[in-house]
Amino acid sequence: NTGDEGKAKADLVKAQSAVAAWQKDHKTNSTITFEEADKDLTDAIRQLSWAVGISIGLILLVMLVQFGSLAEPILVLVSVPLGFIGVLLSLYVFQSTLSLNSILGVILLNGIAVANSILLVDFIKRLHDAGRSATEAALEAARKRLRPILITSLTTVLGMLPIALGMGEGGRILQPLGIAVSGGLWVSMLLTLFLVPALHVSYLQSRSQSTAWRIRIPSFRWRKSLSIFVLFFLVPSSSQAASFLEAVKKIVDRNPAVGIQRATVNQVSDRNMSSRLGWLPTLSLEASHSKSGSYGLTSTRQGVNGNANLNLFKFGADAAAISAAGSEVSAQEKTLEDLILRTESDAIRSIVTLIQSEMEAETIRDIFKTREEALKIAKERYQRGLLAAQEVEKFAVDLDNARARLSDAEMTIASSQAELESLLGDTEVAREWPWKNIFTKKKFDSFEVQKRPDWQAASLKIEAARSRRNEALGKLFPSLDLGLSYGYFRSTGLSEFSGAEWRGQIGLSIPLFDKFENLGNYRALTEGVHIAELELEKVKRAAKSESDSARKTFEIAVSTAQLRDKTLESSRRVYADNLARFKKGLVSANDLFLDQDRLRDSQINQIRGWASAHTAFSKLCQSNGLHLETCLN
């Protein structure tokens, strides 16, 4: 009776006592044993339960080695309990049992469910490491990994369907296994697609620097907004704001000029491939068929021939071409690096401009609220006969002026948002000064200007120009070449021959008159070397000037920003004291207006001070040829 399973142990004790009493009363020579009917089944289930735990442990160990951290493997393993939910739900719906076969199905399910989760977590991690925000990475991963996850899950579910339906003789025995795998995988897949990305985004948010102020760039399309809502409905978290470095990296990746220069590097490398491989022999394969006649007699010749031509000596023209090719490619790579540095500097300027305009608007908004409060107090004092109507009118006028300044600030924000949105796209940027503490605690004085990419690119262009000039010079002198050929020929008619034939020759080429093409090219390239040297001198002067100017500007900007912090603290104390006195009627409206304007100016000056410090820092890094992250470290 399944209803009495809970009493089994107590009833067993009673049965043993009853049998012992019977044996005592009857004194018969009998042997009675008690056996647990499902002992083997219980032991097997216990062993399989251990197998489930060991399988999860092995999966975790493999992922720890792969990801190199604990967070991502734990996020991946979220799919395992989701699979358990699906197993229990499917067994209940199809009125099956949690048996040996169903637990075996759980072990099979773990590997498949974890594979689906790995597809999401790994892709999100790679996108986020590439500079995408957590939100964008999750959306992109869910979109691009949906099809592989569906294919993997559907093929497994359909493959298990005959077992889940109990088809065939003895199919009922394995039916719980099929139900566990099919139902568990289906539920796990549906929940994994939503819960794993949401938890991953929540983890990335908590890992990044928390900030109370954020800038939100509008114009999310309704489909993306709906996707974000569906994706995060299981996790109560706010939208992720990209950090300063994330935003800068994304702007660099989105810049068409950077993409064009990357393509130019590849183009120059491909174009110079023949110069780099100029020392290799030229190989060719020829097939020929000729027919000739003389005095009524004809002859034919057929053959297949392989040729190899090797340069022995060209007065260094080939070596110069190889050197020039390498220098030209390296110069383009340094030009790309310089463009990235300048793009980073422009990106920081755009981000700082938006942050500055947002913070200034917030300051003006606070002043507007205080003016509203002051006007309310003034009206109350006027009604009590403590203030003249003219004074109340001054408060009203001042409030209108604050409203106008707020409107101007909001228009500035809209303009800054439009500029940054064209560079960054639909995303958010943390509204903060991220390197404020670094500026006040660290000195930046170990720069080497000669390592600037534009300086190195100009030097490489000189090397390339000199190598091209030497290549042209080598072509003015004789060259020595080795030619080898081997083939099979067959001729009939005037001369009969059939068989293999080889030839070898050494040729000396002496240029006599080529319409002065090589000479003109050499003289033009000589002038090109002179131009490249002048360009390097120009870059050197500009680099030293920019570096010195950027260093002084940065030092002044940081010291000024620190001074403005102190001024702001003093202005806040003065205003707080006078506001309290104004409420008591001890300070006039004009004095309060002056305090408000002083506080507003101090706040705006403080914001502009740190904005200038961040912009000056980006210019300092760029003028010394350092990427932002390298400069910070």
| Structural contact between residues 614 and 352, judged by C-beta atoms closer than 8 angstroms | yes
Q: What is the model's pLDDT at position 295?
A: 65
pTM (2 decimals)?
0.56
Q: For the segment 398-452, what is each residue's pLDDT rounded down to a tens digit?
A: 888 888 988 888 888 888 888 888 887 755 677 777 777 787 777 776 677 888 8
Q: What is the model's pLDDT at position 237?
A: 38
Runs of H (alpha helix) within 165-293: 171-207, 222-231, 244-254, 256-271, 273-276
The 3-state DSSP class for residue 483 equals strand
The 3-state DSSP class for residue 240 equals coil
CB neighbours of 184 closer than 8 A, spacing ≥ 6?
Answer: 83, 84, 85, 86, 87, 90, 105, 106, 109, 113
DSSP sequence for 531-591:
HHHHHHHHHHHHHHHHHHHHHHHHHHHHHHHHHHHHHHHHHHHHHHHHHHHHHTT-S-HHH
**Residue 490: phi, psi to the nearest 5?**
-145, 125
Binned at pLDDT 50, 70 and 90, residue 218 comes out as very low
Alpha carbons 133 and 303: distance in angstroms, whole number: 66
Instruction: For 57-79, give one letter per residue: b (16+ CB within 10 A) or e.
Output: eebbeebeeebeeeebbebbbbb
Runs of H (alpha helix) within 94-210: 100-129, 134-144, 146-164, 171-207
Q: For the segment 463-480, what is each residue's pLDDT rounded down to a tens digit?
A: 999 998 988 888 888 888
CB neighbours of 169 closer than 8 A, spacing ≥ 6?
Answer: none
Indicate the range of 86-90, 137-141, 176-180, 230-234 predicted with least confidence.
Answer: 230-234
Pairing of strands 297-313, 428-430: unpaired
Q: For the segment 579-599, what is each residue's pLDDT rounded down to a tens digit?
A: 788 777 777 767 777 887 888
Binned at pLDDT 50, 70 and 90, residue 167 comes out as confident
Q: What is the model's pLDDT at position 214?
A: 37
Beta-bridge partners for 291: 300
Top pLDDT among 217 and 451 is at 451
What 8-state DSSP symbol labels residue 2? G
- The tokens for 95 are 């009125």
